[in-house]
Amino acid sequence: MAKTRKDLRGRSLRKGEVQRTSDKRYMYTYTDPLGRRKFIYANDLTQLREKEEKLLKDQLDGLDIYVAGKATLNETFDRYISTKYNLRESTRSSYLYTYDHYVRDTFGLKRIAEIKYSDVLQFYYHLLNQQGISLGTLDSVHCLLHPTFQLAVRDEIIRKNPTDGVMKEISRESGKNRGVRHALTIEQQRCFMEYIANHPIYYHWWPMFTILLGTGCRIGEALGLRWQDIDFENRVISINHSLVYYPTNGSNKCVLRVSLPKTDAGIRTIPMLDIVKDAFEMLYEEQKENGFNETEIDGMTGFIFCNRFGSVPNPQTVNHTIKRIANNYNADEVVRAKKEHRDPIILPNFSCHHLRHTFCTRLCENETNLKVIQSIMGHKNIETTLDIYAEATEKKKQESFENLAAKLDIF
């Protein structure tokens, strides 16, 4: 039988109640709907119990409002997210950031029972056209709103989910290519890497971008690589964890944390190309001379990539660097092309994930076994692999027919 806890006067304390020995004050601990630990303080036990009763009444009042269909979308979302007990901390933080940033202060103030299909449609178009978000970001918002409304349907607060079919209509009206990531062409890829290799400032980024373009790693997987994950003898790279960068405890300060890869399929090994092996060896020799990365993140050490402050770079820094390099390259390329009387080879606006997409496209252009491609990329669903494969092979059709025409002498 569990021993009953008591205060200094011998009174039994309820679950969640404690009396602090430092200042003799009473404290009650509870978890709010967002899964955050909260505390109530009082100078005496009676006052603490009164605060507990008020808290319980407020929670029951919130339930009454929800059941009566008078709850706002915000209140319903908070209820929905409180039911997701198995979310990783990074995923929960990402969900809350997305909702707070795009929904909470505007559309989230509406009563859920009054929201119609057309309201959702208008809100989504507002995000696309007035706020200028991508279709991918809109899909992230939708993936939070749809289950929120579905919870209200199952609780019989509303009869139909007003988000049903909205994204299908949005996608049709917005154009099927909107928000689709396109790979760099071989020409663009070469120009980007040659510019970095020969630049007096950006040359030290060459190993990282070589590894990204030569492995197809997600940026978090690449930044999480440690020397013990690299097998030079067997020429393989072990992807068994990832680094995520997200705000914690409701603050705007972001931190790096260790996480499992995006999906179980993300745990994999990747064969090491010669150029990738060269990049790793270059980094190793450089760190042997200047010192290895001593950063510790969630008990892990030995990280390969290191910034000028001696810590692991964050994904935002890498994306900002890509943008800076691409802008400088394009400015220089326009001048060079004009002097050489040719059309410039312009780099598009792209990110780390486009480099992953670029690697996958090159792989699809040279490999026909889809299961091999899926395994190397760590795609959970073969449909993702098929989409990229279809886009890559579409560009090869004309080339194939030109080769066929040259070989066939039957007409």
**Average pLDDT score over the chain:** 86
Longest dimension (CA), the chain: 105
Local confidence band at 31 (pLDDT 50, 70, 90 cut-offs): confident
Superfamily of domain 74-173: Tyrosine recombinase, N-terminal domain (1.10.150.130)
What would the pLDDT profile of 75-101 be if each residue is shown by its tens digit? 899 889 988 877 777 788 888 889 999
- Please tell me which residue, 54 or 287, carries the higher pLDDT value: 287
Architecture of the domain made up of 186-392: Orthogonal Bundle (1.10)
Phi, psi of 287 (to 5 degrees): -75, -25
Give the residue extent of every domain in the chain: 17-67, 74-173, 186-392
Residues 364-370: contacts with CB under 8 Å, at least 24 apart: 364/388, 364/389, 364/392, 364/393, 365/392, 365/393, 365/395, 365/396
What's the average model confidence in pLDDT over 148-173?
Answer: 88
Give the pLDDT confidence score for residue 409 in this predicted structure: 59
Hey, how many other C-beta atoms are within 10 angstroms of the C-beta on 344? 16
Of 295 and 3, more confident: 295
Confidence class for position 178, pLDDT limits 50, 70, 90: very low
> CA nearest 135: which of 167, 183, 97, 101?
167
Comparing 237 with 23, which gets the higher pLDDT? 237
Under DSSP, is residue 200 helix (H, G, I), strand (E, B) or coil?
coil
Rounded distance between C-alpha atoms, residue 35 and residue 84, angstroms:
9
Query: What percent of the chain lies above the pLDDT cut of 70?
Result: 89
- State the pLDDT confidence band at 35, using cuts at 50, 70 and 90: low
pLDDT value, residue 177: 46
Q: E-assigned strands of 105-158?
A: none
pLDDT at position 8, please? Answer: 86
Query: What pLDDT, on a 0 to 100 scale, did the predictor assign at position 116?
Result: 95
Q: In this model, does residue 140 exceed pLDDT 60?
A: yes
What's the CA gap between 390 and 396, in Å, rounded? 10
**Which residue did the predictor score with more confidence, 291 or 205?**
205
> Of the given ranges (75-84, 192-201, 241-250, 265-274), which has the lowest mean pLDDT?
241-250
pLDDT tens digits, 231-259: 999 999 999 999 988 776 555 677 888 88
Chain centroid to CA 113: how far? 31
Kindly tell me if the per-residue pLDDT of 68 is higher than 90.
Answer: no
Taking residues 197-205, report their average pLDDT. 95
Give the per-residue pLDDT at 66. 65
- Could you list the beta-strand ranges (E) of 226-302: 230-231, 236-239, 242-247, 254-259, 268-271
Helix crossing, 117-129 with 135-154: angle to 10°?
160
Give residue 33's pLDDT: 54
pLDDT at 393: 77
Average pLDDT over residues 319-342: 95
Mean pLDDT across 97-115 = 92
Contact 110, 103 (CB under 8 A): no
Q: Tell me, what's the pLDDT at 59?
A: 60
